[in-house]
Structure 1
């Protein structure tokens, strides 16, 4: 098995090896790897980061799968229009469009954080149609239930009436401070610098207060999105950084109460970004689940 450190793509390599497609008149950055004849795995990132979050899992997954990821509208290397009506449904439309562009029929879904909510919307859509497109789903730390989501100060400020002002004041130091609070295994200086670069690319701060509306959407659409988990007919696994102050073990407890008995990988001493904090454990869990289907 290839080693992690020697095979990781730098942020510059990640960008150089990616492509763009048009979605509703906007340029969306995406990447693929692996053979087109292999099973498909779609990776969806969280807020406020980008697809680079999956770099530790990328090459390992691509050995046996055709792997797809993208920076959602308003994130990473994709366009960040200030006049867009950002919503979870819009981001789900984006992935449907990308999958259609790549002529993908069925796929396995892996998501984190904000991406979990996009995954819930995709599952809800599948439940409304006879055609099964999603074959399995694995969810990393995310606010699956609005009642257990514990937003950090930055999120509270962004969703407040003064969110548009705070977003302009957001800087690299505030980002680093936030990640120090939510990650139990410290990220490297290079990782944090890369995350800031992706965030600030295309003036990302200008749309933070628009993107954060997903927290309100989770409350508005709770019945639909929690229902999508409860009625899910495909294999599902939770991978959880247990010491995440936002969506850690308290979220897992609620998941068991509301959804029921599903495979849960609980990573002690790991915070909100398990794919970065415990990359080997997450990669092993993802692959073991897929191989066991």
Structure 2
């Protein structure tokens, strides 16, 4: 299935708004069929899915939003950002769209943690998840290796680091976490920075980064949910990502029964951007074989 890029300008025009506890959230919806919820990572936005969007929308009802504090959604300064609230946001969006079927989830990075919480809620009878696929993310805090800028944002001087974070710092950070042959163009970096910087985004980066200690506090709840095995799961991972690469897959295989994992050779932290054709292939293969156990590791 061909991959078609959606320029950021066109992507923004397709978005809609809804209210979440008095905050404006930007969201996108396309296609028809089984609902597929796409959950983006830190510090970017749902435009991360633009290479896959049209191909997925030919098969499914595809839904994504810029979470609170990200992209074109509101970024209140006087707010304590929380992964649990972001899971609430996803459920509120689904209610807004009158989605009442079990939901398939495809998540990345920060979004993996939101998906883990939704999975835990599934087993509590508070959400209905049909399947989950995780792209490079800190599923297990003990294996997550935060980048230097993330460590600095977590420090007492994090508010200063965030306000000083600019387009050049983003370029340097991305050059370290993308694959050597799949780094974003200067134009793409401009677009990423546009999403991060709008609505005074850099002033809240030190608040958003609170997800890292939140992951530690919620680890047991989330890992236990992943180990239950009632919801089909797959991990598709860029192998050379220094944050959550092959070492995260190894830990996944140690902890998750019948672990279904895919390693993408020479791909970094953003596989849906760096290798969208491969991600699409492996995602659709997963959907085609849902319900059948898989223990092998695939390389591509």
Q: TM-score range by the shorter chain?
A: over 0.9
The structure 1 residue matched to 2:278, chosen from 278, 281, 285, is 281
Segments of 4+ moved more than 4 angstroms: none
SS at match of 1:47: coil
Superposition deviation, residue 262 in structure 1 = 2.1
8 Å CA contact retained: 1:123, 1:232: no
Alignment of 1:2-151 (within 5 A): 3-4=2-3, 7-35=4-32, 38-105=33-100, 106-129=102-125, 133-151=128-146
Alignment of 1:152-163 (within 5 A): 152-163=147-158
Structure 2 residue 246 is the aligned partner of structure 1 residue 249:
yes
SS at match of 1:287: helix
**How well do the aligned residues superpose, as a CA RMSD in angstroms?**
1.0
- Measured against aligned partners, the alpha-carbon deviations of 1:232-284 in whole angstroms (never above 9, x if no partner) come to 41111100001000000101111111113222110010000000111100011
Residues in 1 aligned to 2:22 and 2:281: alpha-carbon distance in whole angstroms: 38
Q: For structure 1, list consecutive stretches of 5 or more residues without a partner in the other structure.
A: none
Please, what TM-score do these two structures have when normalized by structure 2?
0.94
SS at match of 2:206: helix
SS at match of 1:167: helix
Residues in 2 aligned to 1:261 and 1:40: alpha-carbon distance in whole angstroms: 25
Residues in 2 aligned to 1:246 and 1:151: alpha-carbon distance in whole angstroms: 6
How many residues were matched structurally? 287
Superposition deviation, residue 292 in structure 1 = 2.4
Residues in 2 aligned to 1:141 and 1:118: alpha-carbon distance in whole angstroms: 13
Residues in 2 aligned to 1:211 and 1:226: alpha-carbon distance in whole angstroms: 22
Structure 2 residue 159 is the aligned partner of structure 1 residue 164:
yes
Residues in 2 aligned to 1:220 and 1:156: alpha-carbon distance in whole angstroms: 17
Residues in 1 aligned to 2:30 and 2:255: alpha-carbon distance in whole angstroms: 36
